[in-house]
């Protein structure tokens, strides 16, 4: 039995809400980065030695930078803001997925482009490989719901077009 347009729209909405929630959450958590790192430093023993070293390095850099050059964290604030704005862009497909399928396609392209950014900028900025892979995981995690929503949207479009014939 084939899904109805209503069922497809519900499935699309669920996947997009999951994606949007992830974007908003990752955006919001970028604002208090020093506080979050302080929590991590207070619980270092739960991390592997390699991660402990990385977290200590990052904490020291963020704390020192914030103490001496607090305006540099403004860049992280803009990163957080961008995540929230990108989430807002998916309101279009939530309302009308067929008409706004290009937003889903744009999102998938953005997810794929995380890989070259991580693997080109990562070594230049001295980011360890394991952290570059963590960054790439966000591309995978973002791509999956977008791909599924896009597939459902194509099905919805086919049903809608066939009903108009």
Cα–Cα distance, 89 to 24 (Å, whole number): 12
Q: Which domain holds residue 135?
A: 5-163
Whether 92 contacts 16, CB under 8 Å: no
Whether 150 contacts 157, CB under 8 Å: no
User: What's this model's pTM, rounded to 2 decimal places?
Assistant: 0.89
Residue 104, exposed/middle/buried by CB under 10 A (0-12, 13-18, 19+)? buried
Q: Which of 92, 118, 95, 123 is nearest to 105 (CA)?
A: 92
The confidence score (pLDDT) of residue 1 equals 79
The radius of gyration of the chain from alpha carbons, rounded to an integer in Å, stands at 20
Beta-sheet strands, E only, within 16-161: none
Report the domain count for the chain. 1
CA–chain centroid gap for 63, Å, is 25
pLDDT tens figures, 12-44: 999 999 999 999 999 999 999 999 999 999 999
Cα–Cα distance, 121 to 116 (Å, whole number): 8
Residues with Cβ within 8 Å of 38's Cβ and at least 6 positions away in sequence, in order, are 59
- Quick one: pLDDT band at residue 165, thresholds 50, 70, 90? low
Q: How many residues does the chain have?
A: 165
- Quick one: pLDDT band at residue 163, thresholds 50, 70, 90? confident
């Amino acid at each position: 039995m084939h899904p109805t347009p209503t069922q497809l729209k519900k499935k699309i909405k669920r996947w997009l809400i999951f994606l949007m929630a992830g974007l908003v959450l990752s955006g919001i958590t970028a604002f208090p980065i020093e506080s979050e790192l302080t929590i991590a430093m207070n619980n270092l023993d739960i991390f592997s030695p390699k991660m402990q070293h990385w977290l200590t390095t990052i904490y020291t850099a963020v704390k020192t930078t914030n103490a001496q050059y607090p305006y540099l964290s403004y860049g992280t604030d803009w990163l957080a803001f961008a995540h929230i704005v990108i989430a807002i862009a998916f309101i279009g497909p939530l309302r009308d997925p067929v008409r706004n399928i290009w937003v889903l396609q744009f999102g998938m392209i953005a997810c794929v482009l995380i890989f070259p950014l991580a693997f080109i900028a990562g070594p230049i900025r001295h980011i360890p490989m394991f952290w570059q892979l963590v960054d790439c995981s966000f591309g995978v995690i973002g791509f999956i719901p977008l791909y599924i929503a896009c597939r459902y949207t194509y099905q919805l479009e086919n049903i809608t077009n066939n009903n108009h014939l």
